Amino acid sequence: MPYALLFTQQYNRRAAKFLKLHPEVRAIYLKTLLLLEANPHHPSLRLHPLRGKLVGLHSVSINLSYRITLELLIQDQQIIPVNVGDHDAVY
């Protein structure tokens, strides 16, 4: 069963800024979102829970340099992206 991506206004602003700074990753970013919606446990996403101050969030990889942090609500089949950017920006 596919998951539903729920985008907040805050995330949309962050994503727009990210894509403006890194237009070369637009296609792979969109592919990542589609794959996340279809199967968040796909191995290429490298989904993993975060610890420390970001406990309760998960991270997926766009590519080797960029990540998306998100809330993964498995019981409701919902995924809420929180932040997008390079490793230092999202962690």
- Domains of the chain, residue spans: 4-90
What is the CATH number that goes with domain 4-90? 3.30.2310.20
Q: Which helix or strand (DSSP H or E) is residue 44 part of?
A: none
Which letter does DSSP use for residue 54 in this model? Answer: G
pLDDT at 88: 87
What are the 10-residue block averages of pLDDT along the chain, 91 residues in total? 89 96 96 94 94 92 94 83 90 84
pLDDT at 73: 79
Residue 68 carries which side chain, given as an amino acid letter? I
pLDDT at 87: 85
pLDDT at 28: 96
pLDDT at 46: 95
Cα 64 → chain centroid: 13
Asked if residues 79 and 6 have their Cβ atoms less than 8 Å apart, the reply is: yes
